[in-house]
DNA sequence: CGTTCTGAAATTGCATGCACTTTTGCAGTG
DNA sequence: CACTGCAAAAGTGCATGCAATTTCAGAACG
């Protein structure tokens, strides 16, 4: 009957977790959507038990919310909560960038500069999708440059938690160019080993990202009130 | 059977999670200890299914490690990893303290000062256990003073994750007095609305805590080698 | 005497079943 | 027509069972 595969390629739960969390982060389901445990079980050809375990992971990540005896929904957020998330993200990036200025290796600096220079073309050519990809890579380099795996983990987790509420980060035509300028300040400060300038630039950059992001918050959805 | 008396209110899994995570954080089981799923199920008078779900939460918190088909163990850490955790903690506290200087309410400042003054007596009298309790409260006030629930959450989670590896924080007789002095600088900077001084004091404080903490890292345990 | 092989016991991971809660549909009442 | 009450349906949370994997004891071997 149930013979999906004889050999375990990874752990079943982790595979599902990766797929579903990516879909949530990518905005496949809007915040507030109820996750159908049985449907997911059928989709992945497993029973509801591992699905429930996955729900635990998702909730611990902050991507979903558990309501006792009422199932699991994609995490919602208020306008105020979203500001707090952005602020925390800014502080985490500032911390990473501050450490970058102190201990980034020459190779890492070179890699950062190269990525930044490549993005210059994308910013001027206006391919927002490609710029988004480079933007992700750029910030990953900043996290890695902190040489602190735990801080890196926090930054990536927070970015993932933030992402479901953002829509079309670069919906403004001028945004990639502005983003590139802000990155420029961060890179310059890191190369100059100026901690204060780097952290300040990182914080300002994130605040600009926040201001220029279309977001999806709870008040925008027209569902039942949060009890 | 018997034993339904063990704290049974709210949701079953969350109750177990709170109890077990507290015990791990309190050092009840040393890092590397294997958690007995069946034993825990019997202890809480539940089946292994909710225990497994709790394991998912614990692992997501970073308190335990999951090994495929080999059970769950209390998280271990290397000397280097511990330094990274302390550093991340320092950055999170610095971020909180920086926000405290900008937006703590007068009532919160007063509360902070009162707690700090109370701890002065404890520091001089040398009751390290009581001072530890006040130390926890003091730092909680700093997290709350950030007025950022998410940052507060990160700080508390990181502190919990750090705690299993610390033993006898104030094993040095002079440590409470030193700690009080360091707190003094933080409080003074907050009252003076000096962001830089506050964040710097917070970072230095955490580095002192690290240096004066007896820690339990992987190399200190004499178990089987890590595969 | 130490190493490798082997099979049984213990343990993990998942499927299934069941009791309980929540939700929904539909009368009956005002 | 709206509102309340009740019962059926759906869904959640946990217990139990089973197959696959891991671990370990002891024997065979070098």
Domain at A68, CATH number: 1.10.10.10
**Over 50: is that where the pLDDT of B155 sits?**
yes
pLDDT in tens, A83-131: 999 999 999 999 999 999 999 999 999 999 999 999 998 888 767 778 8
Residue B137, in any domain of the structure = yes
As a whole number of angstroms, the distance between CA A138 and CA B14 comes to 38
Residue A119, in any domain of the structure = yes
Query: Does residue A85 share a domain with residue A44?
Result: no
pLDDT at B168: 60
Best of A8, A70, A88, A147 to disrupt the B interface by mutation (most B CBs within 10 Å)? A88
**CA of B223 and C1' of D18: distance in angstroms?**
33
Q: State whether the Cα torsion A107-A108-A114-A118 is positive or negative.
A: positive
Domain at A175, CATH number: 1.20.120.530
Bridge partners of A214? A167
Model confidence band, residue A218 (pLDDT cutoffs 50, 70, 90): low
- Domain end position, chosen among B25, B57, B74: B74
Look up the pTM and report it. 0.88
> Domain tally for chain B?
2
As a whole number of angstroms, the distance between CA B78 and CA B65 comes to 14
Model confidence band, residue B169 (pLDDT cutoffs 50, 70, 90): low
Of B52, B87, B154, the CB nearest to A148: B87
Residue B227, in any domain of the structure = no
Q: Do A53 and B52 touch (CB under 8 A)?
A: yes
| Structural domain for A187, as ranges | 79-215
Residue B225, in any domain of the structure = no
- Domain end position, chosen among B74, B100, B122: B74
Best of A98, A150, A203, A207 to disrupt the B interface by mutation (most B CBs within 10 Å)? A150
Query: Does residue A68 share a domain with residue A83?
Result: no
pLDDT in tens, B63-82: 999 888 888 999 999 889 99
- Domain end position, chosen among B74, B94, B127: B74
Residue B168's nearest CA partner among B126, B208, B213 is B213
Residue B7, in any domain of the structure = no
- Arithmetic mean of pLDDT, B80-100: 97
Of B13, B84, B99, the CB nearest to A148: B84
**CA of A159 and C1' of C16: distance in angstroms?**
38
Q: How far is CA B133 from CA B19, B118, B129, B130, in A?
A: 19, 12, 7, 5
Partner A, chain B 89-108, Cβ-Cβ below 8 Å: 91-92, 94-95, 98-99
DSSP structure class, residue A220: G
Query: Does residue A91 share a domain with residue A64?
Result: no
Query: Does residue B118 share a domain with residue B68?
Result: no
Query: Does residue B197 share a domain with residue B96?
Result: yes
| Contacts of range B173-178, beta carbons closer than 8 Å, 24 or more positions apart | B173/B126, B175/B128, B175/B212, B176/B122, B176/B123, B176/B126, B176/B128, B176/B131, B177/B123, B177/B124, B178/B208, B178/B212
Q: Is residue B71 helix, strand or coil?
A: strand
Chain B residues inside the 8 Å CB shell of A158: 150, 154
Mean pLDDT value across chain B: 86
């Amino acid at each position: 009957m149930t013979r999906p595969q004889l050999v375990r390629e990874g752990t079943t739960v982790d595979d599902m977790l990766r797929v579903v969390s990516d879909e949530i982060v990518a905005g496949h389901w809007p915040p507030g959507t109820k996750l159908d445990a049985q449907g997911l079980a059928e989709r992945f050809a497993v029973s509801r038990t591992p699905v429930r375990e996955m729900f635990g992971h998702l909730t611990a990540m902050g991507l979903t919310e558990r309501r006792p005896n009422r199932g699991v929904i994609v995490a919602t957020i208020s306008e105020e909560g979203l500001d707090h998330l952005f602020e925390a993200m800014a502080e985490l990036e500032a911390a990473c960038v501050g450490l970058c200025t102190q201990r980034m290796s020459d190779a890492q600096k070179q890699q950062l500069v190269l990525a930044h220079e490549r993005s210059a073309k994308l910013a001027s050519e206006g391919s927002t999708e490609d710029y988004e990809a480079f933007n992700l890579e750029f910030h990953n380099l900043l996290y890695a440059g902190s040489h602190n795996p735990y801080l890196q983990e926090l930054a990536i987790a927070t970015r993932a938690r933030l992402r479901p509420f953002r829509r079309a980060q670069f919906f403004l035509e001028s945004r990639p160019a502005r983003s590139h300028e802000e990155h420029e300040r961060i890179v310059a400060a890191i190369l100059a080993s100026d901690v204060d300038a780097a952290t300040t630039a990182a914080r300002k950059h994130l605040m600009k990202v926040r201001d220029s992001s279309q977001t999806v918050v709870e008040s925008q959805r027209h569902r039942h009130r949060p009890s």
